[in-house]
Structure 1
Amino acid sequence: MSSDVKRALTRVGVALTTAGVALTALVASVSPAVARAPGAPSPGEKVADALRKSPVYVDSAYADSVPPARQKQLVRQIEKTGLPIKVALVPIVQGDAYDGEADAFAEVVHDRVDRRELVLITGGDKWSGDLNGYEWPADQHQANDAVGAVGFLDETKDAGLADRTEKAIELIAEGDGTKVYEDATDHLRDGDSGSGSLPREDTAGADGGGTPWLLPVAVTVALALAAGALLFFVRGRARSRRGGPRRFPSATGAPFAFPQAVFAAAHTADEEALRRQTEAEVLALGEAVQAADTSTPGLRRALDAYAAAGTVLDAARGLPDLAGVLALVAEGRDALDRAEGATPPLPLCFFNPLHGRADRRTRWRPLGRRDQLHIAVCEECGAAVRARRAPQVLTDEGPEGHRIPYFEVPAERSVWAATGYGSLLRVSEGEGEGLAARVGRGDFSRGRDRG
C-alpha cells in the first residue's frame, strides 16, 4: 500500500423464441400500466382467466409457432397426464408488466390462478425465447429440470416451440426430469476437473439450438484473455458515447461507478495497473469519508469498509483480492451515498466483480447441485447465463494449484468464495453484515493462512 493511502488511513482513523418475437411484443405492447383502460384486467389476470378455461394459453406473438391445431393437441396431451399442468406461452420483454422477468410472470399467474397444486410451463424472458418450468409445491414433479432438459436433447435440438412444449409436458409426466437433465448435460461435465461451475440458471430453459454453454475452465480463461482487448475497446467506445463510466440501475437511482481505467486494467489482465487503480480508489474513498458530515447515516459502515479495503489491499496477492478491494470500496461508497432507510444498491457482479456493478438479481443453480443461489449479475453475465453461454468468470488458484472459478475455492479458504463478493450476503437485502464486517473479524486473514 502506498504512503498516501497509509497517511489517509491515519487521518481518517480507519461493482426467434427470436429477436423478431421480442420486437413484435415490444411494438405491440406499450407498457401495460399505461395502455390498460381503467377497470380492464391486468396482463396476469388475462392469462389466468384464460388458463381457468383451458390449460393452454398462447399469446398472439406465438400464433404462427403454436397454431390453434397444435394448441388443441397440447390440451389433449395435458388432459391425458392427469396432472395440474398449465402452459402460458407469452413473450416476456423489458418494459412489460414483469420488467422482462419470467419468474415474476410465473408468480403472478400462480397467484391469479389460485391453485394449491400447479405445474406451469411459460415462454422465455427478455434474454431468450426458451421455456421455463415451475411448480407448486416445489419439485413434486421435477418440472424445472424436465423443462430445462428439453434444450439439451438431440431430438429437440432444432425443434419449434410447439414441439419443445410437447416434449416438456411428456418429460414432466414421466416424473424423472432431474435424471433426464443430468444425463442430457453429462457430456458438458466431461474433462471439467469437477468444475461443474459454469452455470445453469435455475429458472431458464436451454437454448433452442442446444449449443453447449459449459466450457472447460482453461478454455474459458484463454478465450476471455484473447478477447479481452477487443471487448474493452467495444465497451469503451459505447461508454464514451454515453459520456462516462457505465452505470447500472439501483435502489438509490445513481450508484457509485468506477472510472474506465479500472476496467481497462481488468480487461487487459494487467495486475499492476489494476493494483494502482485500486489503490487510487481506496485513497478516494478515504477522502470521501474524511469529507463526509458526521451525521451521515452510513458513516460508520463506510469507515469499516475503508479500513477493510486497506487491509486487503496491503496483502493482496492477485486479481481475486484486488476485486475484493473494489467490492469493499463500492460497499463504502454505497454506505456514504445511501439515504437512511433506503434499500442498498446491488453489489458487484457475482461471476466477475471486475465487470462492475450488477444489473439485477437472478436465481442460479450450479450444474450438478440441487441447492440454488440468489445472485447479482451484470448485464453481460445475465445474458450469457440465459443463453447457456459461459460467462467470463473470475478464476482463482484451487487446492491443487489449478485455476478454477473463484467461487469453487473452499469457503473456509476464501472470504470471496464464501460471500460471492457480496452477492451471498443478506446485507444486499438490507439485513445482516457486509464484506467489511467479514474482513474486520478476520475471515480474509484466516483464509490466507489456510491457503
Structure 2
Amino acid sequence: MKAVPRAAPAAVRRAQSLPALLLAVLALVAMTAFAPGATAATGVSAIADALRKSPVYVDPAAGGQLSAVDARALTDRIEASGKPVFVAVLPAGHPTRNLFTDLRTATGITGLYAVRLGDRFDARADSSVLSRTAVRNLVTSVQGESAGTQLTDFTDRALATMHGRAPSSWGSSGGGTSTTALITTAAVLVAGGLCAYTLVRRSRRHHEQGQRAALERLRVVVDEDITAFGEELDRLDFHPAEAGADDAMRADYERALDAYEQAKQYMAEARRPEDVRAVTRTLEDGRFSLAQLSARRAGRPLPARRPPCFFDPRHGPSVTDADWTPPGGAAREVPVCAADATRLADGRDPAVREVDTDQGRRPYWDAGPVYGPWAGGYFGGGILPGLLVGTLLGSAMATPAYAADYGTGYGDFGAGGYQGGDVSGADFDPDDFGGGFGDGGGFDSGGDFGGSGGDFGGGF
C-alpha cells in the first residue's frame, strides 16, 4: 500500500509562516551557531581569525602554558575593559620572522598585540593605541614570569594607560543554541534593525544639515581669502612681456594665476567642510609663487618655503617664528609675517584674522571646530597641533568625533590615526610592528626585543 505523506510537524508549519526576512536572519544565525569548529592550526591566518572573535587565542599545542580557566579569565578581563588587547599563546617552535607584522596585517584591527611563545614574551602596538616606549617598558616589566602571571600583569598594566576601544567583532562566535533562542534572537535582530535604520536615517539627515551649515559658514571666509588673493594679483603690476622678465618669473606668475582660478573652482565644487582644505592649500601655493616672483624681480635670494602667517594667512608666507601666548594658554612659537613680527617685538597685538560667530567677531582659533579644514589647508597636518594646542579649535580637533564631521589629516592631537578597535586592514605603520623575538627591527634602536646587547635586557 502506498504510503500517505504525513503532515508537516507543527514546528515546521510555524517556521514556514515566518516572514521571509526573519527566516533569512534565522538561517544566518543558525549557520554561525552550528558550524563545526575550525581545525587546530598555528598559521597566522588562523590565529588572526580567532583574535577577531575573541581577545585571547591559545594554540592547541601550547595548552600547557595557559589553562582553559586562565584563558577564560584573561578573556573576561580584556572584554570587560573594552580595550583592544590581543593575546596569542603559541608553541615554542612557531616561526617568528615577521610574526607581529603579519599578524597585525591578517587581523586588520588597530590594537595592542602580545605573544607568549614557549617561555618567551613580546608585544607590539599601533602607536595611536600605546607608544613604543610604553610597550617596551611593559614587556620588560613582566619578563621571567610564568605564562598566566605574565599575561595578566602585562594586560592589567597596559589597560591602565592604553587608548582605543574593543573591536565590535568580539563575541561574534559561539556554541550551540536552542531553536527557540535562535528564533527569539532573530526576531530581536529584525526589530532592532528596523529601529536602527530609522535612527540612522534621522541622524544622517541631521548630520547632513550640520555639514551644509558649516560649509556655508566656511564659504564666507574662503571667498574673502580668494578675493584678497585676486586683489594681490591686480596690484602686482607685472606683465610677462615687460623688460627684464624671464622664464622663471613668467612661470611664477602663471602658477599664481592658475592657483587663483583653481581655488575658485575648488570652492564652487565643495560639498563638505573638509573640501575647503584643497582651496586654502591652493591659495597658499599661489601666495608662495608671488613671493618667489617678488624676490626674482628685486634680485633677492629666493625665499624658503615656509607656512603662511599664523595670525592671518592673507599676510602671505611667514618670514620667521615668534613667541606667542594665547589668552589662558601656554607659550609657543608661531610662523609670522614681517609686519606681525615687528608688532610683537614692539609689544603690540598682531593683526589677527577674525571671523563671525554667534558671539560676535572672534579670532579663527576661538571660533569653533568648523575652521579646522580651513586652517588645515594653510598649515598642513605637521605643524598645526603645536600651533593650536590650548585653543578652542585645537581642543575640538583633539576629539575622536571631529573627523566624522570635518575630516582628518590635520596632525596628531593625541587621538589621530586609526583608534584601537578600528578595522584598518593593512593601513598601519610597519615600524610599530617590526622585529620581535630576535628577528631585528625592534623599537627605537632597530635591534631585537631583549636580545643580547639589545635595549631591554634579559634575552630570550
- Alignment TM class, shorter chain as reference: under 0.3
**What is the TM-score with the length of structure 2 in the denominator?**
0.27
**What is the TM-score with the length of structure 1 in the denominator?**
0.28
**More relative contact order, 1 or 2 (CA 8 Å, 6+ apart):** 2
**Which one has a bigger Cα radius of gyration?**
2
